[in-house]
Every structure is written in structure tokens, then in C-alpha cells.
Amino acid sequence: MPLSHPLMQPEPLRDVLARLSELSGDRWLYIASSITDITLDTPCSARTFDSREASPEERDEFDAMVEQMGLRSFLCGSQLEDIIINLKLQRADYTPQQLAAAIDYYWRHDAFIDVSTDAA
């Protein structure tokens, strides 16, 4: 596994979501360790390789490299797809802001948001 470029260039979450079908379900995204709130502008970097094809040593090397870069794992493609599906089931006409709130909520709580009230 070439670790010289293990991550794609960062791009706003909104751009990742716009082409989510191109991101394989198990491909993880990484964000800056300092990020405390997820918005559609949050910069995300996708992993460039399939970790199932990497040795345990290569995965450890990658994890150390990510930490040195000041990044942490965020969510993977299939989690983002699940968040969108759940949101659509609750409110077919959700707004981009509601999607951002649902993603932020899932990231913080490892649970789906309830948007059945207007407070969400």
C-alpha cells in the first residue's frame, strides 16, 4: 500500500455528499482533530485505499500517520448513506441544514436524529 498519498485532498462535506455514490461504502473520511461541530463546509479527506487489503502493520502505520497529520476518522460512506436514508424516512423534504444537523448528531451520538419536530 503506498502511504505517500493515503488520503485524497480535503473537500467540503457538501461536495462529498454530492458525489457520495462514488465513495465506496467502506471508505472512511477523515477530519481535523480540532473540529467540534460538523457543517456542510467541514473539510473531509477520503482514504485512498481499501484497508482490507492492507496488512496489520500497514494499517498501524496509516493510523499513526493520520494522527501525526492532526486528523481523526469521521464517518464512512455507508454511514452517510444510512443517515440520509433515515432522514428521508422522517422528512422527505429535508433541508441541507437538517442533513448537516443529522450528520453532526450521528457523529456525536452514534445514533440517528429525530426530526419529527420542528426543533431539529
pTM assigned to the model: 0.87
Full 3-state SS string of the chain: CCCCCCECCCEEHHHHHHCHHHCCCCCEEEEECCCCCCCCCCEEEEECCCHHHCCHHHHHHHHHHHHHCCEEEEEEHHHHHHHHHHHHHHCCCCCHHHHHHHHHHHHHHCCCCCCCCCCC
List pLDDT tens digits, range 20-78.
988 876 789 999 999 999 999 999 999 887 777 888 898 899 999 999 999 999 999 99
Q: Is the pLDDT of residue 14 over 70?
A: yes
What b/e string do you get for 20-43 counting C-beta neighbours within 10 Å, with b at 16 or more? Answer: eeebeeebbbbbbeeeeebeeebb
